[in-house]
Structure formats: C-alpha cells, structure tokens
C-alpha cells in the first residue's frame, strides 16, 4: 500500500510532467506517444513495458491529476485494458516488444473473438479450429457477439489447436489480424435497433505462429485472465477524458485540444439527456432517483423502498468494483471478486429494468425523442438482458463464486478429461 506521503509525491511528479509536456496544440498521435514514453499513460504497468510499476491507489491519484487539469487520457479499448495486460502476463519478451507499443500509442485497437454459437457459457467448448501450417496457423470457424470487429486492427482469438486433448487443454490464444482475406464480419441487429455486435466467419484465415500467446494448448489460462479483466471493469489505464472504443485511428491526427472539447461536450450532453442503458447510474435526470419525483411517485412507500434498494445495490457495487480495479491495477490478477461485481451489476440492472416501468406506467413502453425521458426507460428495459449475458452469464459467475470463494464442490463436469473429438458439445454433431 502506498503511503499518503508517497501519493502526494506522485501527484507532484505527474503534475510537473504535465506542466512540461502537455499542450492542447499537439496532435493526439504526438500526445499519446509522449504518454507512452513517459509511463504515465499506463502507470500500473511494469517500468520496462511503458509503465511506472505503481499500485492501484497511485493510479487513482494520477487519474485525478489528469482530470483536474483537463488533460487527454491514454487510449482505452479492449486491447489496452484487456489484451495488453494479457500479453504482459502470458506473452514473451518478443511479443511484448512487438504487440504492446501500438496499444500504448493508440495506433491499434483490438477486439475479442471468444464466444461462438455453441460455446458461450461453456467457452472451453469452442470449435473454431487453428491448424499449424509452417510458421502460420490456418483458422476456420465462427465467432459471435464481437464488439468492434469492423473498426479494430487485431483480435484476441481463442481457437482449438488440438482436438485429441480435453477441451480445456487443447486451445490456443492468438492475436490475429482482422482485415484479411478469409474473415467476414456481419453486424447483428439488436432489439434496441442498434448493432453493437457482430458475427464473424473465418475461412482459411491466417495468423502467424509468432502471435500465439503461450504454447499451443495453453490458451485457456490467457482466456480466463482476459475474462477476469472484463468482469472487473477493465482496469489499468488512466481513466481521464480520453478517446476510447474500437477505432482509435480517427482521432490520431486531430488536435488534442479539439478532442478534449468534444469529449467534455458529449459528457455534458449525456448528463442532461442520455442514459447508459446497461448501467443507468444513481444520479442524473434519467436515474430513478430523479424521475420518480417528476412523475409524482416519490410519496408512495412501496416505490420509495424500491428506489432505495436500487440506490444501495448500485452504490455498493460501484465501491466494490473500485476495489477490484485497484487490485488489478496494482498487479494482482483479477480474481473471483470480479465475478461478484459482474453479478451484482446484473442484479442492479434488473431492479432498474422493473423499477422504471413501475414508475412511468404505460409511458415506459414509448421509444424515441418525443417519449418521456427521450425513451430512455424503454431502451433500458429491452437492453437489460444483455447485462446478464455479456462477459459471462450470471450462472457462470455463481459457479465461480461458489467454487473459488465459498469452497463449494465443483459443478459435475464429466467431460473435463475426455478428448474433444469425442464430445458432442455446442453445435458439434459429429466428430471433427
């Protein structure tokens, strides 16, 4: 644990560095490269790999200094918050030298090729195959629920390298180039009307053996590390008003000050109009804590009790998630506590899903800008089921908590030691 005096020194150091290095007239590309070289963009990463080796409490201090000064933060996407830490933990030095620099400088974004039509909760049952061909692997199969596939440069791919090994032991973890012949990306239309996810088809796509993280068959360890970062809130970077998401290329050659202005303007607009449907929060005009008054329901004891329940669930989980992020940022591999925060987020989302329509009544069925709260409650209702699925279902989280936290017996798993080719799992109907 960093002492208060040490945290104060860190704040002074990052402040002095920003005084010398930050300028709104730099391009985003120039600024992100300065951040990468300094180690302040990813301060909890090792010093030899673009970090400063600091703990999670120091990360909070660094982020606060960036925020107070209105400075653009480090690039943030699945590659930076999940892929980079996995390469640092499971890769070798050659892979770290080659794969990490484009992430910390924001010149690359990564997506995640994990789930399949027949391998979601049972991710170890993935059937996408990777067959060695000299210095490359040839990939065939299908992935689904992939965010950012259309706009990212590379993907974290879980593929089966050995069908004669048990399902957990025959997987490889690859970093594959997305935009190549043999990879077809099809957007999926959600019931909200958006298309945040894609299904992806691999037909003789290729990935270099040098991009296999760890040994063939060891992919499950890297995959579980990735999922732990995802469930725990993707910790590790300076969370300031920075650009994020799948595609980072669009901002690289823009003036950093202009990007900051746009981000802040979007945040102000979001505070007054929009809602994050998966996690609506506990403040702002679209929170039940606010609109329960607008619709005159705050005087009803039953409604008040449910609003307080939602507030307590959201607040406690936010604090717990902050703790998980700090531990992960401090160098600890995200553990079962990340499943606790993920499960609690699902519970809070369902409470909000039921609470909104209870408060608004028939108005909750209306969508669009002309609807109450611009249709935010309707959108939250139809979006809510995804929270219990994305990043691992609630059932998976309960199994992890039961086995790794409470010490309960493992769920029966009769096929754990069976060669994969003998299994009838997922969409597999005959031996490969």
**Tokens standing for 218?**
């060891």
Positive or negative, the CA dihedral 35, 41, 42, 43 is positive
- Whether 230 sits among the annotated catalytic residues: the reply is yes
**Tokens standing for 202?**
């691999």
Task: Give the separation between CA 10 and CA 23, rounded to whole angstroms.
Answer: 21
Task: Give the separation between CA 241 and CA 250, rounded to whole angstroms.
Answer: 16
**DSSP element (H, E) containing 261:** helix 256-272
Q: Which residues contact 63 (CB under 8 A, 6 or more apart)?
A: 73, 238, 239, 240
Render 270-324 in DSSP notation, one character per residue: HHHT---TTS--SSSTTSHHHHHHHTT-TT-HHHHHHHHHHHHHHHHHHHHHHHH
Q: For residue 384, which of 339, 340, 354 has the smallest C-alpha distance? A: 354
Instruction: Name the catalytic one among 108, 116, 230, 327.
Output: 230
Place of tokens 């069976």: 418
The SS3 call for residue 196 is: coil
Positive or negative, the CA dihedral 221, 226, 232, 234 is positive
Instruction: Give whole-number Cα distances, 76 to 47, 73, 80, in Å.
Output: 19, 8, 6
Catalytic residues: 230
């Amino acid at each position: 644990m960093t002492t208060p005096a040490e945290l104060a020194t860190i704040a002074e150091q990052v402040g002095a560095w920003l005084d010398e290095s930050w300028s709104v007239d730099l391009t985003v590309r120039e600024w992100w490269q300065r951040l990468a070289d300094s180690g302040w963009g990813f301060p909890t990463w090792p010093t030899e790999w673009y970090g400063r080796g600091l703990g999670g409490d120091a990360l909070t201090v660094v982020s606060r200094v960036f925020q107070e000064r209105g400075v653009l933060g480090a690039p943030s996407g699945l590659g930076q918050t999940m892929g980079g830490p996995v390469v640092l933990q499971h890769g070798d030095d050659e892979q770290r030298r080659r794969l990490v620099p484009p992430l910390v400088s924001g010149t690359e974004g990564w997506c995640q090729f994990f789930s399949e039509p027949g391998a979601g909760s049972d991710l170890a049952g993935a059937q996408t195959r990777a067959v060695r061909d000299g210095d490359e692997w040839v990939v065939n199969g299908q992935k689904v629920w992939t965010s950012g596939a259309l706009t990212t440069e590379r993907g974290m791919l879980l593929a089966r390298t050995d069908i004669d090994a048990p399902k957990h032991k025959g997987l490889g973890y690859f970093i594959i180039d997305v935009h190549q012949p043999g990879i077809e990306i099809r957007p999926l239309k959600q019931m909200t009307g958006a298309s945040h996810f894609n299904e992806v088809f691999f037909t003789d796509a290729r990935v270099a053996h040098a991009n296999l993280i760890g040994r063939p068959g060891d992919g499950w360890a890297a995959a579980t590390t990735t999922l732990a970062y995802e469930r725990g809130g993707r910790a590790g970077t300076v969370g300031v008003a920075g650009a994020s998401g799948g595609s980072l290329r669009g901002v690289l050659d823009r003036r950093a000050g202009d990007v900051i202005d746009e981000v802040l303007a979007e945040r102000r607009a979001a505070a007054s109009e929009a809602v994050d449907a998966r996690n609506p929060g506990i403040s702002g005009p679209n929170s039940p804590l606010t609109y329960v008054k607008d619709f005159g329901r705050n005087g009803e004891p039953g409604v008040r009790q449910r609003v307080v329940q939602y507030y307590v669930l959201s607040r406690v989980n936010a604090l717990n998630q902050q703790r998980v992020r700090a531990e992960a940022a401090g160098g600890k591999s995200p553990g079962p506590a990340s499943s606790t925060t993920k499960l609690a987020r699902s519970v809070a989302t369902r409470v909000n899903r039921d609470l909104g329509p209870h408060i608004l009544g028939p108005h909750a069925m209306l969508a669009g800008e002309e609807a109450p709260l611009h249709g935010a409650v309707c959108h939250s209702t139809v979006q809510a089921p995804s929270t219990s699925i994305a990043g691992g279902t609630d059932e998976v989280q309960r199994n992890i908590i039961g086995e790794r936290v409470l010490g309960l017996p493992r769920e029966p798993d009769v096929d754990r030691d069976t060669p994969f080719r003998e299994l009838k799992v997922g969409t597999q109907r005959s031996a490969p």
